[in-house]
Every structure is written in structure tokens, then in C-alpha cells.
Homo-oligomer: A and B are copies of this chain.
């Protein structure tokens, strides 16, 4: 499986080079995936001008066509988002909206361009919201054609109504570290299987 590749999109609201808790966890996930022999890369979505809309190209100045190409060139897509008000960030929602166009881009076996690719989710907040963010991301990612591996997410939040940041933790909590290890193992295993034999589609 040494020819697998993984691509991460960090959907923080903070433009680079501001420190980002979400980037910290995304980097940890990509590092673990690299440990299984995959090439990895990532972008910070807010640094690119992703236009509002639901087409694959929204015209002059739209950064999505380039990011879309990076998503589809990879076997594993890691979507990473902070939590605001218990929900995914607006930047993350923008990315999901732009993938809605996959539904109109089927091949002659009715498969979306995302078929055969695995999606994993990475969620970071201060105090609450990780399960719901996973739910929304899983649903949107599955709807647009990605496959979700067993235990396909890793998250961290602190105690209710507290404001500690993941980036400021002295040490990665053991449960987070072991979840990252399992996620990387599951995602690369499943991506390897699907790369060898993708969905046949219908038609």
C-alpha cells in the first residue's frame, strides 16, 4: 500500500500563520497515516478564496477547482474542523457545499468522482460538540460518495463551558493518541482495499 496518499483540509477560522488547534490535530493524524506508508499533504481552507456556490467552478478567482483536484487526487481525505456553537465551522460548511457538485458528475456506472476514496474526520473544540460535528460531516461526506471507515473520527473537547485550547495541552491525552493510531490504521487499510478494487457501480 506504499502508493497511498492522504490530503487534509483544515477548516479553522484563523488564517495562517496563526496557531491552530485544529492544525495540530490534523498534523498528528496525517503523521500517523504517513506511518503506514502514505504520502500526505494539507491546506488551510480559509487561506484560499473558496467562492459560495454549489458548482465545481464558480468562476474568476475561485480557489475551489485547485483544492477539489487535491481532494480527488488522494485516496484518503481528512476533513478537520473546529467547533463553534457546537457545530462545524462556516469554512467547513463551504467545503462540503462545494462537493455537492459531485452528485452531478457521475461516470457511466453512476459513480461520483469521490467513489473509492476514504474520508476521515478530525474535530477540535473547547468544550462540546464533537459527536454532532462528526454526524454532519459523515453524512455530507457519505452523501457525496466517500466511504467512512470504522471509528473514522478523532476529536478533543474539554470540560463543559471551559476554554482550554488543544494546542495548549502539555501532552496529547492517551485516548486521543490511541484513537489517532486506530483511525490511521483503519483509514489506510480501507483505502488500500478500495484502491485495489473500487466500487463497480451500477448500469
Interface residues of A (CB under 8 A from B): 13-15, 46, 52-54, 84-91, 93-94, 96-97, 100, 110-112, 114-116, 127-132, 134-136, 138-140, 142-153, 155-162, 173, 175-176, 178-179, 181-182, 185-186, 189-190, 193-194, 197, 199-202
Whether the pair A143, B85 counts as a contact (CB closer than 8 A) is: yes
- In the complex, 18 of the A-B residue pairs with CB atoms within 8 angstroms, ordered by the A residue number, are A46-B52, A84-B97, A85-B96, A85-B100, A86-B131, A86-B134, A87-B96, A89-B97, A90-B91, A110-B182, A130-B160, A131-B143, A138-B148, A142-B150, A147-B147, A157-B159, A185-B200, A190-B199
Bound Cα distance from A173 to B160, whole angstroms:
9
Closest to A124 in B: B160
